[in-house]
Amino acid sequence: MIIGIDASRAFIKNRTGIEEYSYQVIKHLVNELKGHEVVLYLRKNSANYEFDADARMIDNVKLPANWKLKVIKWPRFWTQGGLSLEMLLNPVDVLFVPAHTVPFIHPENTAVTIHGLEYEFCSGAYSLWEKIYMRCSIKNSCRWAKTIITVSNNTRKDLVKLYGIDESKIKVIYEGCGSNDNLQTAGDKPNSNVKSRISNTEYRIPDTKYIFFVGRLEERKNIIGIVSAFEVLKEHYKIPHKLVLAGKPGYEYGKIKEAIANSNYTKEIVELGFVGGGEKKELLKNADVFVFPTFYEGFGLPILEAQSVGTSVVTSNVSSIPEVAGDSALLVDPNNAEEIADAIYKILTNEKTKEDIIQKGLENVKRFSWEKCAGEVVEFLKT
């Protein structure tokens, strides 16, 4: 049996969300599928990975002898054009698509992971083209795939309610966490001093306490709400902390930049841009609170990343987040800046509450692992 896997997102530099999911699942499928012939499909324009042919290593993943890489040269609409053509000319028995989009030409046994329907619930956070594209793409993917994997029960319910998808086709398989492997990247040097790389000179974080957010800086992530909550904390509670934001700019970043510039506390807000795995881990570990009050999440992996290093979390009470966090975080209304601020302040000033949240978080992370995730995914690839 030949298994094909869309790896077009898995080995790019500066991975976030879905890209990290693709990488981790493929990495952990190696042991599960080492006895099968597997083809990993890559885009030419994203093939900036390092592949050691002699050692058969790609981005710290050692490929079995019966696994191969295939770079598909296709300029635009790569999935529907290039990958479809590949399926026609060199068909496989099973195709696994870790990120939303199934090619028009595909084997009968195709599995796809749907991560969330953010564009349906946060319509103002996406352009019209993005909403049309995502809606058509996901509807078709769900129609074409034999098996649909969702990363939360919340996303499963959304697919059934909004798109009328047959619930029997859907299998919930949680993302992984727990061993901190998703907080490491190929670019991290094992012997390098991570703390020095996030020192004052590089990241402008003084030796003081800080509240931390990591994720794409876009409207859906409620960055302006975080800034507003920080202003409440400064004005009413006089906290000494800085607000540290890490992540790439996203949709409507201009509005976020303007809100930060117009804040009375703009000098207390630090933007880092994208940070690698080692930096992210260190920043999470040393934060007093990780704040993640987003408007919608298909899963919410940064919550688990923070908990895995013993950091308390304040996050939203919407979408999949209560399912993932349970009682191991303080849940708040993402539309209420004062409620966000009060929850943060509670952790900052109540040691018992903070320690309780940290211990619950460490236990919560044990529910999730990439090994378990890959083990459940492989069930549908072998049938």
pLDDT at residue number 186: 38
Angle between helices 277-286 and 301-308 in degrees, nearest 10: 70
Q: How far apart are CA 256 and CA 197, in angstroms?
A: 26
Whose CA is closest to 349, among 316, 317, 312, 322?
Answer: 312
Q: Residue 206 gets which letter from DSSP?
A: -
Q: Which fold has domain 2-176+369-381?
A: Rossmann fold (3.40.50)
Q: Which fold has domain 189-365?
A: Rossmann fold (3.40.50)
Distance from chain centroid for Cα 86: 28
The string over 70-87, giving b where at least 16 C-beta atoms fall within 10 Å of a residue's C-beta and e elsewhere, is: eebebeeebbbebbbebb
pLDDT at residue number 197: 46
Span(s) in the chain for CATH 3.40.50.2000? 2-176+369-381, 189-365
Neighbours of 313 (CB within 10 A): 30
**pLDDT of the chain, 383 residues: tens digit per residue:** 899 999 998 888 777 788 889 999 999 999 889 889 999 999 876 556 667 766 688 888 888 889 999 999 888 889 999 999 999 999 999 999 999 899 999 999 999 999 999 888 887 777 888 889 899 999 999 999 999 999 999 999 999 999 999 999 999 999 998 554 445 443 444 334 444 445 554 555 656 789 999 999 998 999 999 999 999 999 999 999 999 999 999 888 999 999 999 999 999 999 998 888 788 889 999 999 999 999 999 999 999 999 999 999 999 999 999 999 999 999 999 999 999 999 999 999 999 999 999 999 999 999 999 999 999 999 888 76
pTM over 0.95: no
Neighbours of 222 (CB within 10 A): 27
